Amino acid sequence: MSNPVKQAAEAARSRGSEVMGTAKTVKSDSVAVANDFLHTPFMRAALPFINGGISGMVATTVVQPVDMIKVRIQLAGEGKAGGPKPTPLSVTREILASGKALDLYTGLSAGLLRQAVYTTARLGFFDTFMGSLTSRAKAKGQSVGFAERATAGLAAGGLAAMIGNPADLALIRMQSDGLKPIAERKNYKSVIDALVSIAKSEGVGALWAGATPTVVRAMALNFGQLAFFSEAKAQLKARTTWSTNAQTLSASAIAGFFASFFSLPFDFVKTRLQKQQKGPDGKLPYAGTADCFAKVAKQEGLMRFYRGFGTYYVRIAPHA
């Protein structure tokens, strides 16, 4: 009896080994197929855009309340030089007192769409431009310099901002809607509802309102964010023995500061232009970018352009 049992056990072990071997082969084949797919020319070109979009959408979900507060601070005291100075805490209290905690996430759908479009294009273009510049520099036995990084950042930011302006406009309209008298509020249900409503009532061209400061803001933001991030990380790698994570976080903090400094005045004007709508007389408060800069400087003072710098930095740094 022992021999048949022993033979059966060995046969079972043999079959088990064959099954395990087959499973490992299938698994390795699956991994190989996945790797081959990721390394196809299409996916190699698409991955920077996909990674950029996903990272931007995750960052937006985290900082959306900060963005909401930033917009309300920029719109406070419009046309007045004095008056109470809003703080992040006072604005947060005001929002919570008038509604509920989720009101801080007003416009999240527009923010996510904006990142899906804008950040996907921005980081994708930047990575593509940097790839071309790096290849060209290597062929000449050189390395990519700060000027090339800055040029790539400016071009990527400007192109992406023009594409993403409608979603950006919808975001500002949704976030500023709560400042209007209840009878005048649009109460947008989603970003699609906002875009359709604006296009119907103001025309499709209105979706690109504030496009000029949006593009300039994006170029300034990218100049500070991407160029300074790359440069800071390169310098930290060469001059410190910090871990990769420490270098990345430090470079992000540095890049976030310069991005905020260069872009906040244009972000301020962009918010004012995208929020504005025609009054009872059929006229807009601001005729354009230059008019908005001039009126704010005259009526509210030059430092108004940098109101809420700390809040803006907190919003920008996680994106960096």
pLDDT tens-digit series, residues 272-281: 999 998 888 8
Can you give the pLDDT at residue 239? 93
Q: Which amino acid is at 95?
A: I
- Of the pLDDT bands very low, low, confident and very high (cuts 50, 70, 90), residue 200 is very high
Over residues 124-133, mean pLDDT: 88
> What percent of the residues of the chain are helix, what percent strand, and what percent coil, each to the nearest 5?
80, 0, 20
- Tell me: do 258 and 121 sit in the same domain: no
SS3 260: helix
318, 59 contact by CB (below 8 A): yes
Three-class SS of residue 3?
helix
For 227-266, what is each residue's pLDDT tens digit?
A: 788 889 999 999 999 999 999 999 989 999 998 999 999 9
Q: Would you state the structure tokens that stand for residue 55, as one six-digit string?
A: 């990272």
For residues 157 and 101, state if they share a domain.
Answer: yes
Helices (H), 39-143: 41-75, 88-98, 108-114, 120-139
Spatial neighbors of 301 by CB under 8 A, at least 6 apart, are 81
Report how many domains make up the chain: 2
Residue 192 reports pLDDT greater than 80: yes
Q: Residue 181: helix, strand or coil by DSSP?
A: coil
- The DSSP call for residue 205 is G
Q: Which of 195, 175, 191 is nearest to 103 (CA)?
A: 175
Tell me which of 156, 175, 207 is where a domain ends.
207
- pLDDT for the residue 121: 84
**Residue positions counted in the chain:** 320
- 230 assigned to some structural domain: yes
Residue 227 structural domain: 209-319
User: Is the pLDDT confidence value at 16 over 70?
Assistant: no
Question: Which pLDDT does position 168 carry in this prediction?
Answer: 94
Same domain, 248 and 155: no
Decide if 87 is inside a domain.
yes
pLDDT digits (tens, 9 = 90+) for 134-189: 999 999 888 888 788 888 888 888 999 999 999 999 999 999 998 888 888 999 99
Other beta carbons within 10 Å of 188:
21
Q: Give residue 20's pLDDT band: very low, low, confident or very high (50, 70, 90).
A: low
Q: pTM score, two decimals?
A: 0.75
Do residues 230 and 190 share a domain?
no
H or E stretch covering 308:
none
Question: What is the C-alpha to C-alpha distance for residues 235 and 243, in angstroms, rounded to an integer?
Answer: 13
Residue 23: per-residue pLDDT: 52
Q: In the predicted model, what is the mean pLDDT of the chain?
A: 85
Report pLDDT digits (tens) over 52-97: 778 878 888 888 999 999 999 999 888 887 767 889 999 999 888 8
In a domain, 61, yes or no: yes
